[in-house]
Structure 1
Amino acid sequence: MKALLALEDGRTFPCRSFTGPGEAGGEVVFNTSMTGYQEILTDPSYSGQMVTMTYPLIGNYGVCPEDVESDRIQVAAFIIKEYQDFPSNFRSRGTLADYLIKGHILGIEDLDTRALTRHIRKSGALRGVISTSDLDPASLVEKAKAVPPMEGADLVGKVTCKKPYFWKYNQPEYFSADKLKDPLIWHFRGKKHSVVALDFGIKYNIIRCLERAGCEVLVVPAGTDAETIKALKPEGIFLSNGPGDPEPLTYAVDTIKQLLGIAPIFGICLGMQLLGLAMGGKTLKIKFGHRGGNQPVKNLDTGRVEITSQNHGFAVDLNTLDKENSILTHINLNEDSLEGLKNDEVRAFAVQYHPEASPGPHDAAYLFNQFAKVIEHAKA
């Protein structure tokens, strides 16, 4: 079925839908990963975005229920070069097309993804609209201009959990928010590190990694106030990844400010940006973002280079942080941008990339054990 992608700057790309009729809009970004498209589709950090895969053949290993990172597909649309409708993988439980159709997500192929990626790298991430019904370029460009911009938008409200939950049998076990007042809420207090995770769009594999590091994780909605969290007496606090611009999330920044020093804090991606804001810094939008599984990052403490998975369009501006308390720990070797920071005084640290990356790379998985050690030292 014929389709057309139009960008806000007037550039258009003919293509076709492999999921049937539809129309979708959002910020158009690209991801350089060769595998992991199902994890990308279900990553809440992609809310409001139409993702382009630079690897040309997608769908060849199908989809598997165990590989999702949230309870639904999060992307606004999926853009690829060539779709493979006959997956070959012993774990596959269905085709990518059927999976997208079930989630009411538009899937597009036969688009020049190399040209689109080069255009985004030159012009920056752009708003766009894809349609199978409206193929008039001028009309679609106007629709693209009307798509709400990422800057200034609170997208966390769309992806955060509505109720708190523990992770049980590899899935969330939700309960009433009133139960957060129960002092006996923890199941393994004394046997595992009790960690409260603020859900700004948390990926399931982050919870799995925290549990493997010896933590019992209580996930709470993004709007949970500091007093409620303090009353739980957590031994650690985790700030999750999530979508969009961190600066509108003033409620989260205020909560984090009140939690600094209460317990060790570990943040990932949006969690790092919010920690940076809470420590007095500012954030900025990156031209076309970092998205993919091949980003080189140097750990300044060890001198080692880690190949990392990343997905972010905003970052902390290191020049706005207090250099005495905010210490640079990791840098991106492509452009020397900030990838990690810590504040030893309040036992807080964070990274801009994804150490929990599934299917990989796993170079930075040590950070979860590092968090557990910080908790152990704080308890001692």
Structure 2
Amino acid sequence: MKGYVVLETGEVFEGTLVGENQEVHGEIVFFTGMTGYQEVLSDPSFKGQMVVFTYPLIGNYGINEGDFESIKPQASALIVSELSEGGYHYESYTPLAKCCESNDLPLLIGVDTRAIVKRIREHGDMRAILTTNPESVNFDATIPLGEQEVVSAVSVKTMEQFGEGSHHVVLVDFGYKKSIVDSLVLAGCKVTVVPHDTDFSEIEKLHPNGILLSNGPGNPKQLEEILPTVKQLASAYPTLGICLGHQLLALAFGADTQKLRFGHRGANQPVIDKETNRVYMTSQNHSYVVKEDSLEGTGLSPRFFNINDGSIEGLHHETHPILSIQFHPEAHPGPSDSEQMFKLFVEMLSNKGEKAYA
């Protein structure tokens, strides 16, 4: 059947709808990777977002058992130019379209994705409605994603444990990706995942060697109530923050964040480490960044920068063993240049918080 994406600007884009046909509201964003659609559709950081893929052909390697980042799709909808009906890879067990149908994930194909991306680049990430009746849409009934508290919808409800190792890491879950836990376990860590609103005293009882503040969806300022706990944890234990976790660390110590015009989503984003002058090609997925001029007096200093636009991509603390990164070192999808950030974190744990260099 025909489906339509109606942008907040009033523009309408037509395609063919596969799967769930109910009206879907969300923030429309674009992803620039040539591969990685399975990780994208299951990444909790995409909660509340419709994802437009800039690469014209999507689905050609199908869906496999190992690349899901959570137990179910998290994106609100997928929008592609051309869909491959088969999965031409030896690990594929089902095509992308069937995966979307079985999980009630709307998939709109045959869309002029180039035109949509141009609108997003011009106007910024915006609200959109996917519908079969474009005449019936009503944006007055929608709430911008930045005003929603979506982390509670993706965070675990009970504690989970993974792996065995000499270092015990408590991962505070704001919408963590499975591959982050996999990377920590591979680095020799025991990982305990706790809900995002777990208080300091409960985490203290777990006797962690370090804390990881995970990625997640939405506006970090919607989580103001947990900032005192974030600061308390980071002041007591060696801490790594990834993506949303990085932003929360900045806010907890008194810095500020702002929304990018259209975010960084995709692979091959160049980031430079100013302490080593090493450049990493990174995987990213974020709408918000830390404002550099807000860091004065916080004890936090910028360490990593995006080479394309100069935005902050990571921080370290002047006295506490705290490292934060805006990019995704677990590299799912790739590239894997920055996966050694986990090694750096483990060195922080081994050295009881002394600064480490990748």
Q: What range is the shorter-chain TM-score in? A: over 0.9
Q: 1:177 maps to which residue?
A: none
Q: 1:265 to 1:4 in 2, by over 3 A?
A: same
Rounded to whole Å, the distance in 2 between the matches of 1:379 and 1:87 is 46
Moved more, 51-60 or 319-328: 319-328
Q: Helix, strand or coil for the counterpart of 1:369?
A: helix
Q: 1:37 maps to which residue?
A: 37
**Aligned pair count?**
354
TM-score (norm 2): 0.96
Q: 1:374 to 1:63 in 2, by over 3 A?
A: same
1:194 is aligned to 2:138: no
1:84 is aligned to 2:79: no
Rounded to whole Å, the distance in 1 between the matches of 2:90 and 2:153 is 34
Report the Cα offset of residue 303 of structure 1. Answer: 0.8
Alignment of 1:233-312 (within 5 A): 233-312=207-286
TM-score (norm 1): 0.90
Alignment of 1:123-162 (within 5 A): 123-132=123-132, 134-136=133-135, 139-140=136-137, 142=138, 144-162=139-157
Q: 2:69 maps to which residue?
A: 69
Rounded to whole Å, the distance in 2 between the matches of 1:165 and 1:27 is 30
Q: Helix, strand or coil for the counterpart of 1:38?
A: helix
Q: 1:352 maps to which residue?
A: 326
Rounded to whole Å, the distance in 2 between the matches of 1:252 and 1:238 is 15
1:338 is aligned to 2:312: yes
Report the Cα offset of residue 346 of structure 1. Answer: 1.3
Contact map agreement 1:127 1:145 (CA 8 A) in 2: no
Rounded to whole Å, the distance in 2 between the matches of 1:376 and 1:202 is 24
1:227 alignment partner AA: S
Q: 1:227 maps to which residue?
A: 201
Q: 1:217 maps to which residue?
A: 191
Rounded to whole Å, the distance in 2 between the matches of 1:325 and 1:254 is 16
Structure 2: state its 5+ residue gaps: none
Kindly, what percent of the aligned residue pairs are identical? 41
Report the Cα offset of residue 71 of structure 1. Answer: 1.1
Contact map agreement 2:27 2:128 (CA 8 A) in 1: yes
Write out per-residue CA displacement over residues 131-168 of structure 1, whole angstroms, 9 at most, x where no aligned residue.
12x132xx32x2x4432102232110000001110126
Structure 1: state its 5+ residue gaps: 169-187
1:316 alignment partner AA: V
2:308 alignment partner AA: N
Q: 1:180 maps to which residue?
A: none
Report the Cα offset of residue 323 of structure 1. Answer: 5.5
